[in-house]
Amino acid sequence: MIAKSTRHKSAKKSIPWALCIVLAALPVAGVTDLLLRHKTVVPLLVIVSVSLLAYYFYWTDKRRAQRNEWRVPEASLHLCALVGGWPGAFVAQQQFRHKTKKISFLSLFWLIVLSHQVLWFDWLFMDGKWLVSLFS
């Protein structure tokens, strides 16, 4: 009898799509609002393109980590998330099991995600007045 080897587990993990959908609800509603009321697709294009870039950076960093090569700086990963690429970063983290254990990295990542949620909530339900009041 030949025993099945468990040494070659897939690096991929199932993505918590329910969480992804919940987190994407406010940004999707906000981008839709901007499209309908202000006729601009720029935020949508930014979120999609930077998410794809973030996904690519995570994939590249994971491969480089496995090969002991030069890594993508964490600051670059966070910058992509901050600029709007957190959805792509979230999917990549889950799919590649990359950057999912380091508490300092995850703390800043989830703070970035939370800040995007607050921004879109303010835009949709308070017409952006709450955040403006913080800085005036």
Q: Is residue 11 part of a domain?
A: no
pLDDT band at 5; cut points 50, 70, 90: very low
Percent of the residues in the chain that have a pLDDT greater than 90, as a whole number: 80
SS (H, E, C) 17-65: HHHHHHHHHHHHHHHHHHHHHHCCCHHHHHHHHHHHHHHHHHHHHHHHH
pLDDT at res. 123 = 94
| Residue 65 belongs to some domain of the structure | yes
Higher-scoring residue by pLDDT: 15, 71: 71
- Establish if 4 belongs to a structural domain: no
Dump pLDDT digits (tens) for 102-136: 999 999 999 999 999 999 999 999 998 998 888 88
| Domain assignment present for 7 | no
In a domain, 8, yes or no: no
pLDDT tens-digit series, residues 73-105? 999 999 999 999 999 999 999 999 899 999 999
Residue 40 has pLDDT above 60, yes or no: yes
Flag whether 42 is in a domain: yes
| Domain count along the chain | 1
Tell me the residue range of the domain where 51 lies.
17-134
Average pLDDT over residues 29-57: 96
- 44 neighbors 35 (Cβ within 8 angstroms): yes
Mean pLDDT of the residues in the chain: 90
User: Is 69 contained in some domain?
Assistant: yes
Instruction: Report yes or no on 107 lying in a domain.
Output: yes
Q: Does the structure show a pLDDT above 60 at 10? A: no
Tell which residue, 110, 90, 98, has the closest CA to residue 63: 98
pTM as predicted: 0.85
